[in-house]
Structure 1
């Protein structure tokens, strides 16, 4: 069977590319090959089943800062198709998006089925063939066409787009074609920590600065205490930016937490010396300071070896120093990681130097295109990985339908 365009991978990037290519070149014969029994499975579980479509960031130079891998390469593409274009694309198809407080954007319906139904409906309207349970086993250039072998049949096409995410089997086929692959390592994960200071505090969130000891990795933002350790935006960003470094450490390292970002231990010590006089008779344990959550404050006071009944007037210099250190330079041992909810994201994929980011075409082979996480591009949580999929899928579709 011969096609104009074959798309390998029935996920977000694959469907978006197929639909746009079919609209840009009506009548073209397009098929999507999906190895699984269902398409768009990652779309279905994204954002807790609501589908975090994109993020309300409308400046390319700011948007790219959310990509630990791909920041430089995506700047040009985002000038061609980014957040505003994504919003307009879905609105043209009757799907309105809403912006939440943290900038994440979801369909107003609050269900990923809205996005899935849109893609399936558009694919049907445009007569795009969707082949499920069709795992690709071989890709080769033969007689001026790409030949794609699956466990069921052999197909050929003028152009092929690969949008298979972090699929090691496809990466191996691409290596046979001469492409370099950065091996996959986890990104977007929480830190497993067993420590009395946070053991009984799951659900508490506070603004903090976190840095990995012995390196340059650090971030500031909301930190969430969980049953397993630490999570929240600051931790997830650290895990994304440090994906390879933390993998090399086998996820055993120390993090230093400043629960009062912007202040040093010396500055907090001076503030507590003032509190010692102002609140002399007040019990230290029972009255949280610096707007910290009360239970976290209490655990840090206990960790500083301050007696439960002690008042501020009772504290000696050693105890004040100990508490200032717990508040600003608390060190925690990380032993392992946990996947962030169901959003398993990896760093790794096709070497970005081997891709033309004006078209998302391979620099090694004509008429071979890529989109989504098959490339060595990944982002922090918040809809950014999907925006990469939409941008790459759209620009690849444009290139495939304009290229003769």
Structure 2
């Protein structure tokens, strides 16, 4: 959501909470029901109720640890629900398997995925889903559908107990459903790296199809980022409990053969002859480098420059993240700032476009080369490799003091984490 959209949602929900005494009712009854008609009186319900990730919730929801769930068409329940599942941070520790894409398919380019539907089709056509499910599958279902009628319990973060919610023909949606002889997989996909997702995106379709087919329902969350397809395969241990979701397995795939060796990184280090002058640039504060790549891909696929608000609205960034990752891309020479009729837009630089069009291995190596062309990153990685030991934060700060201008001590300490994380990303390339 854009900063403006966040503010409008915040203000509209603040009004609703005040006029409907929502916090008081939640305190008294454990939850509060509200209709889309009532929400529409302040602001369009579609914009006011879609929070796929925790950070997208309005401020009053965050401050009171609340979330919202639909329970019928046009009605919602607000409470201190445990609605989200956090993605494991150690996904890079899972091995990547390399698969081939059918060479005669020309309408999808696997290393330039533009949509969730393209990602799912790539996964299907390359055999990822069949390998995960252990049987041949067919793409049979996608899009919006009715949930049917069911009841479920959801954990309450405030009381430590649970609330019971009755769902009566609410609307749900799945990005793809794949049916085999004994299994039916429902897939929610995101074409970027994310920290969490709302379990409802899998749970409501799971309950809807559980009532219709006599097969094992396999809920799967798919994240595609930097050409790595990461599948999180879940199981609901108790179908009547929303929070019984259990991560059964993680599978990571890449289309093509693109392994990077440590010798490739050392070769880049050896061939760097001169460093870029970054004294007039803002030193990056963007810890998750993969999100710089996500944004690189989004700007390429979009084909036209985007305003900051559009980036925040269309992708899983919060307002501050948008600023951080745009700034990081500009620092690396991957993005450009454009002005037109008083508005500011962002697009790929010629260098960014050149990199994104490379095959995945060369793309990653060029990104490594771009990072290491700044002396701080070069020196710290060299020290890491020479000692086979991660430099302590104090040592990183010491190196930064000597080579980064215009930052005070507190700022250098914060930016040191970004340096650590980017170096970690480089080294993890050799284990994927």
Scaled by the length of structure 1, what TM-score is found? 0.21
Give the TM-score, by structure 2 length: 0.20
